[in-house]
Structures are given as C-alpha cells and as structure tokens.
Amino acid sequence: MKQIIFLFLFTSFCGSQNSSSSFFVKIPNNRFVPVVSHSQKDKKINKTRTGNRKLNKLLNAYKIYDVKKAFSDTEKETLKNIYLISCDDLNLMHNLNTYFKSYYPIVFHLKLDLKKMYQLPALPNDYILTKKYLEVDQGESKGSTITDQDELNYVRAPEAWQVTEGSPDIIIGISDKSYAPEHEDLKNKITPVFGKNHPNSSYPHGSYVASVAAAETNNGKGMTSIGNKSHIYMANNKLVEGVDSLSKIKEVKVISTAWVTSSSNAPIFKKAFDRGKVIVAAAGNGIKKGANPYIYPAAFKNVISVSGIGHHNSTFIRSKKKQRVLEDTHQQNKYHKHTWAHHSNDSVDIVAPSYGILLAKSNDNGKSTYANEGVGTSYAAPMVSGAIALMFDVNYCLKPKEVESILKLTAIKIDTLPQNKAFYGKLGAGKLDAYRAVKMAKDMSDKYGTVEIKDRILYRWFYKLETAPYNIRMKNNDITGNARLKFKARHRIKLESGHYYPKKDGYINLKIDKDLTLNNCSPRPNFQKKPFLNQVKHDINNALFDAAPISFDNNVTISKKEKTIEDMSSIIIYNVFGKKIHEEKNINSNRIEMDLEYLENGVYFVKIYNSKNAIIGVKKIFRN
C-alpha cells in the first residue's frame, strides 16, 4: 500500500523526465535490477543479474536508455528500492507488470498523480512523511528518524482504510499504566475514565499501547495508528478493575489489555464478555522451561489472545544490540528466546507484528517523543484492537464471538511455514489481515452483501456469523476436527467446493432466516467531545449512479439513477494505488454490465465520464 505514498512524492521529481517512455518499478531484490551497458549505436541493455532467461529476453527486446534509483538520497526505506526505467516503449512496463510481478511487484507510469484523482481517498499525511526527527532530549534532537511503519503495510491497514478510516464514535477501552496526556499524538485521542494517571517518562506503557491502537492520525505529526479516527477511553493503574469499569460503559466496544493477572480473575472477564465487549489480550513475552505456558487474561475463555511475529527482513537496534527479524517468523532469534520469544500455546487466537514497532512515548520538557523499536506482544494486541474498531465502524452490531470468528476466518495461516515448524498449532488462526477482516464485517452489514469464506483450513474453534448477512458463500474450505460452525443468512448459504466433514465433536449448522435484521443492537452513539479534523467532504459513493453488486464476484453493472444526468460515455476503473485497471469506451448509454472476473481481490474505484470527458460520478466497489 505504500505505492500511494510514492505517487504523491513524484510531482516535483517527474518534471524533467520524458514521461512517454519512463516508468517506476519497485525491485525488492537488487539481484533483479537490470544493468545497462552501451552498444555502439545507442544505450541499450544487454545483460542483467536476474538469472532468468525469459526475463532477460523480454528486457533485451526493448531499448533501455537508463535504469537508476529514483530516490538515491531518501531516508525512507520503502523508497530506496524504487527505480526509474527509461525506454523506447511503455509496453515493457505492462509486460513486466503482467509476467514478472514476483520480481517487480509494483510498476506504474511516471505521469500518474493521485493528487489529481477525483475524490480518491488519500493515506494519512503522517503516514507519508519522508523524514522526521524524534527522541528529543533536553530540547536537542539526537538525529534519530521515524522509520517506515511497515507493520501497518504488513497487516494491510492502508487497504482497510479504503473501506473505512474509523470514527471517534467507536471507543477502544484500554486498561494500562502511565501515559503522556499532553503528547501530540495522544492528547486529543484519550479520555480518562477510571483510576489516576501517574506519568512515567522512562516507561509510559499506556502511551505505547494507546498509540498503536489509535494515535492521532492525519495530523502531520509523528505516527499513524491502525485505528485511525477511533477514540480511546483509558483506565489507569487499576488493571483488572479497569477492565470491569470499562465493560460497564455502553459506548466501549473493545477492551485491550497488555499485562498479566491471576487466573482467579476469570469471573471479571466473563462479566465483561457477557456485557457484549470484545476483549483482546497480549499473549505475553518469555517463558522458562517447565513454566505454565498459559498466562492470563490471554488464556481466559472468550478473550482474544494475540501473540507476536516479525514483519520484515531488516536489522534494527534495541538495547544496543543488533537484532534481525524475519518476516512471518515467530521466534526472534536463539539468543533472546527466553526474553522475547512470545508465548506459544493452543490458547493463542491470532498473531500480529511485535518487533520494531513505532510508538508514541512521553512528553519531556514540552517535546513529544517516540520509540521506534517497540518489541513485545504488548503492541501486537492493540494492533488487533485497532482493527476491531474499524470492523465496528462498518458493522456496529457485530457480536463479540462474531468479531473473533471474522478475525480467524480472514487471518493468513503461517504455522505451516518452515521457520515456524516448532510452533505448529500454537500461532492461532494466523497473522492479522486487517483489510479482509474489515471487508468481511462490511459485507455482513450490506443490504445485499455476500460474505465469502474460502481457502480456509478449519479444524478447531467455534465460528459464529449471524448478524444478518444476506449471502454466505463457502468455497474450497477444509473443515475437519472439532471445528464448529453456526452460520445464518437472510437469503442464501452456498457451499461451492471443499471438504466439510468435521468429526463427532464438531458440527456445521447452517440456517436461512429471512427475519434477521441488519440493525439489531443499541443505537450508535454520536461522539461530540472533539471534532475530528479533515473530515471527508465528498461522498465517493454518490447517489447519482448505482453499482450492483458493490461487492462483486464476476460482473458489475453501472447504471444512472437520475434522468437529468447525462448518459455514460466512458468508464475507467482504478485500484487503490491509482493505477488504471479497466476501461470501457463509447458506451453512450445509461447502463453497462462489465465482466471483471480477472481482477484481483481488493478495493476499486469506478470513474464515470460524459461525452465531453468530464467526470459525472465515482463509485467504490470490492472484489471478493
């Protein structure tokens, strides 16, 4: 999702380039960077380091004048592997994107500028800053830089934000110790509701946790949070009591914890769950031989236990020791397995990034500071809580068990990877996919939406979906063991393919109930404490046109609703990066059906033009 960021930054850079024969390409592995050599007639590539004959043949079929880094002096890691290729024919750009996506995952044209795209949502401005100093000590910068928040890319938060940016109406409850009330990224996002805060500049754990869940976002400062516009109610220094107090507040939808308590406190957490609250807990850090692997509240029934994994292949500094974290790796390294190898047991429900996390820290001498190497499940848990807040924003009536079910039905299974072999069955349903979770929550709330469950391996746990989905489609699933499914829909539940044979301790209960209602919960509150800045001024799903279905499998029909609006002349479909994906010309009609089966899953924007090539409508659609 950082592709959007790149496009915003290219405006000044591209002025001197030949835009008709130049394009940008992301090359994560420098082994596949083409090497230009000079022939007698002109500059032409004649060798590469790819080691791929087909790729070499394609590259040498074109005249390539130059290949160079687009941002040689950038401080931003995600811009360091962006290259500018100048050639004689832009068909090369399309061929690389079509046939060699594994080597070149992002390819786009020089002219593309999302600032000019009509009504397309942008990423938060504090998510696209190229350089920012932090760790202020006595008024002087130490020269540290805020690193890219790749943990948000990793869980697909930017894509989730295209579905919703959240809302201050959705309250995340956090029970923790010590936060900085005047921190620039926290002061407008936290309302203290219980206990007394004792600010601790050396270890403001409450600030850390709160900033991951819902730091001030799009304020041009510091960091971005997955919860984006969501708000926080904070209970201070009374941890278990704080959970109890937060659970009694009607507006609180999810409660996030990152500490350990006694198993005797189980009744308090059961009461919180019975009050309709989703409870998220950090799975814990460190375990000694012979020790009980189950810690609480994470191991309590009806608590979502979150363990941690790595999210990149880079070296970062923590406690003056260089440590390397591999993507999808649960255990950090052999030297720290007793200190930072997170708890792994069968009570873990899901995993999220927990190494090298950017955190809001303290407010020293009037200066807001940050820590850019947070390590621990304390930060994996609020990342899941922030994603849950987005889910509630698109479907306020979800029940706690449904939230857990959606997270598990959309997670990416990783315990079968070679590096996680020792943790098979102990990393929950897999790693958080915020986009797919938010998308499924929205599909459940759409009047004619389809909830798609596909490519799942379900062999344990209870899965519940019944808050009025219209259709449920199940495809290519393997449901065995003691998996238990209880699904309801208003119109249809379709099993297209797969293996659906749970053992005697499991079951599949599917039911059609036409009387299910979409709004079967208490009214949504209107949070008025502080107005949120930069509210969206335009309705991207304007009322002039229909897109049916908005959440599609194969075909989408666009039709105009108002007779006063001109007929459609052409349509262009863009992905969330602003890249043109599909075009329909010479329509001259008030209705058109498009076959979009070839599109990948994700969010797309349909721009509708009249005969004068002026935009007359924009719709947002979703590919299942």
585-614 confidence digits (pLDDT tens):
989 888 899 988 888 777 788 888 888 888
Residue predicted with more confidence, 120 or 76 = 76
- Binned at pLDDT 50, 70 and 90, residue 338 comes out as very low
The angle, 0 to 180 degrees and rounded to 10, between the axes of the packed helices 205-214 and 377-394 is 40
Picking from 75-84, 311-320, 424-433, which range would have the lowest pLDDT averaged per residue? 311-320
Model pTM greater than 0.85? no
CB burial of 426-451 (b: ≥16 within 10 Å; e: otherwise) equals bbbbbbbbbbbbbbbbbbbbbeebbb
DSSP letters along 140-185, please? Answer: EEEEEEPPP-HHHHHTTHHHHHHH----TTSEEEEEES---TT-TT
- Res. 540: pLDDT tops 60: no
Write the secondary structure of 380-411 as one string of H (helix), E (strand) and C (coil).
HHHHHHHHHHHHHHHCCCCCHHHHHHHHHHHC
Mean pLDDT of the chain: 81
pLDDT reported for residue 501: 94
| Cβ-based neighbours of 563, under 8 Å, separated by 6 or more | none
Chain centroid, CA 140 distance in Å:
34
- Res. 11: pLDDT tops 50: no
What mean pLDDT is predicted for residues 513-527? 84
Dihedrals phi, psi of 599, to nearest 5 degrees: -70, 145
What mean pLDDT is predicted for residues 554-568? 83
DSSP letters along 447-511, please? Answer: TT-EEEEES-EE-SSEEEE-S--SEEEEESEEE-TT-EEEEEESSEEEE-SEEE---TT-EEEEE
Q: Are 601 and 162 in contact (CB under 8 A)?
A: no
The angle, 0 to 180 degrees and rounded to 10, between the axes of the packed helices 434-445 and 400-410 is 130
Write the secondary structure of 81-112 as one string of H (helix), E (strand) and C (coil).
CEEEEEECCCHHHHHHHHHCCCCCCEEEECCC
pLDDT reported for residue 312: 75
Residue predicted with more confidence, 530 or 27 = 27
Q: Any idea what the Cα angle at residue 89 is, between residues 83 and 95, rounded to 5°?
A: 70
Residue predicted with more confidence, 162 or 351 = 351
pLDDT reported for residue 328: 85
pLDDT reported for residue 442: 94
pLDDT reported for residue 28: 81
pLDDT reported for residue 45: 52
- Binned at pLDDT 50, 70 and 90, residue 341 comes out as low
- Res. 180: pLDDT tops 70: yes
421-475 confidence digits (pLDDT tens):
888 999 999 999 999 999 999 999 998 999 999 999 999 999 999 999 999 999 9
Q: Where are the domains of the chain?
A: 3-116, 146-309+350-420, 447-520, 545-623
Chain centroid, CA 575 distance in Å:
16
Residue predicted with more confidence, 60 or 401 = 401
- Binned at pLDDT 50, 70 and 90, residue 125 comes out as confident
Is 3.40.960.10 the CATH classification of the domain at 146-309+350-420?
Answer: no
pLDDT reported for residue 133: 32
- Res. 531: pLDDT tops 70: no
pLDDT reported for residue 6: 34
pLDDT reported for residue 464: 97
pLDDT reported for residue 120: 40
pLDDT reported for residue 429: 96
| CATH architecture type of domain 545-623 | Sandwich (2.60)
- Res. 623: pLDDT tops 50: yes
344-370 confidence digits (pLDDT tens):
889 999 999 998 888 998 887 778 888
- Binned at pLDDT 50, 70 and 90, residue 542 comes out as low
